[in-house]
Amino acid sequence: MISLHTSPLDQPGTGDAGGMNVYVIELARRLAARGVEVDIFTRATRSTLPPVVEAGDGLVVRHIHAGPFEGLTKEELPAQLCVFAREVLRAEAAQPSGHYDAVHSHYWLSGQVGALARDRWGVPLVHSMHTMAKVKNDALALGDHPEPAARVIGEEQVVEAADMLVANTDLEAKQLINLYDADPGRVEVVHPGVDLDLFRPLDRARTRDDLGLARDAHVLLFAGRIQPLKAPDVLLRAVAVMLERDPSLRHRLVVPVVGGPSGSGLDRPEALATLARDLGLVGSPGRPDVVRFVPPVAQADLARWYAAASVVAVPSYNESFGLVAAEAQAAGTPVVAAAVGGLTTVVDDGRSGLLVDGHDPRAWADALARVVGDEALHARLEAGAVAQARRFSWEATAAQVLAVYERARTRMRESVS
């Protein structure tokens, strides 16, 4: 596997680490459990990182030195593709001939390296886009930057080079075909999974006690990277509308924002905190704080936050899948999500959560108030959330991806013959 721009060992929720990091490491672990040896190549971002990390039985993460360890943005990484590719090829050359059977690249930068490895090693390339520039640019968040033309061209090249493309949802498959002219026969839909052992319902009262949350609070949780694409500001504006409509809610509403600045959010890392103050969501004498900012947490701690929440809000402008929504539902917590991208697959509207068209704070306030204000609805959504999450498991994902690898090998043999 190639995950050039972000390591699967990085803490999700800040920088460039997010759902893709979880996807790569969890899929690799499940493949290794099936007897598949997996090497993950990623760029070293600290001089102290060991060249090789044994991440489990049959699973190795290789840190490649390519460019400065720190300070490079994702937009600057294309200049390091050549040196990264050279080091990947050098690592393979130290192995016995035919050491690798397939390459699975993640994100377009990795796909560029994967295409070179495919041709050099004579093995099939399977690629996962995770996000696509054309899709992001069509649904650009206010204050976000459009993806550059170089990325669009690079993605088109990877789509053409890959033997098989893994799409997270039917919608993503259609986008690959319609926007990138992908051959439908080379696109396979495989849903990402959820760690159902880790993300599961917990005793809500006890979990809230542990996290310092009132047992009777309406806890509206945002978890993820703080950047315009993820739209945490929509949640804050919706909460302000809820308080304007019913000021008595102030003593019950708690809005934890779990995550750190990322992407274009790094341009103004204090913007969300400033917005919270401007909206009156930060306390003053006699007025409790509504918003609580929590730094990124480990997956086990994130599972507790999900389980403690009344609702998890996912107001993103686009999501290729939406792991936060899937994990929250596995914890038995209803989700209110934007009706975009993969979220329309992950959230069963009216059964495991509610989907909201658009990003109007008033519409979001309506949906959030409906879930926390109707106990019967909340109970139905809790049960539906757990049932919906069972549709997604990493074991099923690994089995299907293995089948995609075999299809890619067959296609490559046929193309050679």
What is the pLDDT, as a whole number, of residue 263?
A: 56
> Does 91 share its domain with 220?
no
The domain spanning residue 129 has which CATH number?
3.40.50.2000
| Residue 8, domain member (yes or no) | no
pTM: 0.91
Tell me which of 43-57, 130-144, 187-201, 254-268 is least confident: 254-268
Was 21 annotated as part of a binding site? yes
| Residue 199, domain member (yes or no) | no
> Does 404 share its domain with 293?
no
* Alpha carbons 22 and 63: distance in angstroms, whole number: 17
| Residue 384, domain member (yes or no) | yes
| Residue 320, domain member (yes or no) | yes
Was 20 annotated as part of a binding site? yes
What is the pLDDT, as a whole number, of residue 5?
A: 87
Was 75 annotated as part of a binding site? no
Was 230 annotated as part of a binding site? yes
Was 19 annotated as part of a binding site? yes
> Does 229 share its domain with 350?
yes
What is the pLDDT, as a whole number, of residue 265?
A: 46
pLDDT above 70 (res 117) = yes
Was 95 annotated as part of a binding site? no
Mean pLDDT of the chain: 93
> Does 94 share its domain with 131?
yes
pLDDT tens for each residue of 149-174: 999 999 999 999 999 999 999 999 99
| Residue 3, domain member (yes or no) | no
> Does 209 share its domain with 153?
no
The total number of structural domains that make up the chain: 2
* Alpha carbons 358 and 87: distance in angstroms, whole number: 45
Half-sphere exposure of residue 289: CA atoms within 13 angstroms, side-chain side: 12
Was 131 annotated as part of a binding site? yes
> Does 100 share its domain with 230?
no
pLDDT tens for each residue of 284-326: 666 779 999 999 999 999 999 999 999 999 999 999 999 999 9
> Does 59 share its domain with 174?
yes
> Does 325 share its domain with 399?
no
Was 26 annotated as part of a binding site? no
> Does 224 share its domain with 363?
yes
Was 333 annotated as part of a binding site? yes
Tell me which of 94-98, 204-208, 262-266, 378-382 is least confident: 262-266
Domain residue limits at 156:
19-193+394-416
Parallel, antiparallel, or unpaired for β 353-356 and 38-43? unpaired
> Does 76 share its domain with 215?
no
What is the pLDDT, as a whole number, of residue 6?
A: 86
Half-sphere exposure of residue 303: CA atoms within 13 angstroms, side-chain side: 15
Task: State which amino acid sits at residue 341.
Answer: G
